[in-house]
Amino acid sequence: MNIHTIADHLNSLADNSDTGMSFDCQPISGEVDVLQISILGREELPIFVSVTEDQILCISYLWGVEEVKPECIAPMHESMLEMSIPMPLSSFSKIGDKYVVFGALSISSSLADVEHELTVLSNNAVEVIDDMSDFLL
């Protein structure tokens, strides 16, 4: 499994995805291969996929530290930790000064698993932004 297999699969889905979502994949070059995945109608919240030796990492960036009301950082962190189990297939994390939701799949996952993960991750991201927006400036 590498990002090109994933891109080929998602691009070939067209109307045949089981999740009703249309994907558009764009590789980003750099020291590691990253795939930028846009979902039709949600282009503002792309998902970035990278593949390591043992896992497929799918990351959706939520917001930067600077978008959070300073007095809300502590309750937000606590809510993120509390929602970590209920939120399916994804967890919260902080990368540098950005908050993200991410999902990690085994390298041996099927393409259907990857598609399912991306769909749920995107839904999680949209819902998290909607429901945690009280913490944001």
Residues in contact with other proteins by the rule CB under 8 A: 15, 17-22, 28-32, 34, 36, 41-42, 44-45, 48, 50, 52-55, 57, 59, 62-63, 67, 79, 82-83, 85-88, 95-97, 119-120, 123-124, 126-131, 133, 136
Per-residue buried b or exposed e for 106-129, using 16+ beta carbons within 10 Å of the residue's own CB: eeeeeeeebbbbbbbbbbbbeebb
Residue 70 binding target from other proteins, its own copies, none, CB below 5 to 8 Å by type: none
- Neighbouring CB atoms inside 10 A of 14's CB total 9
Which is nearer to other proteins, 54 or 71 (by Cβ)? Answer: 54
What is 4-49 written as a DSSP string? HHHHHHHHHHGGG-TTS--EEEEEE-SSS-EEEEEETT-TTS-EEE
| Shortest distance (Å) from residue 111 CB to other proteins | 17
Which is nearer to its own copies, 39 or 58 (by Cβ)? Answer: 58
The residues near 20 (Cβ < 8 Å, ≥ 6 apart) are none
Q: Does 94 bind its own copies (CB under 8 A)?
A: yes
Q: What are phi and psi of 112, to 5 degrees?
A: -65, -40
| Shortest distance (Å) from residue 8 CB to other proteins | 20
Residue 92 binding target from its own copies, other proteins, none, CB below 5 to 8 Å by type: its own copies
DSSP conformation class of 53? S
Residue 74 binding target from its own copies, other proteins, none, CB below 5 to 8 Å by type: its own copies
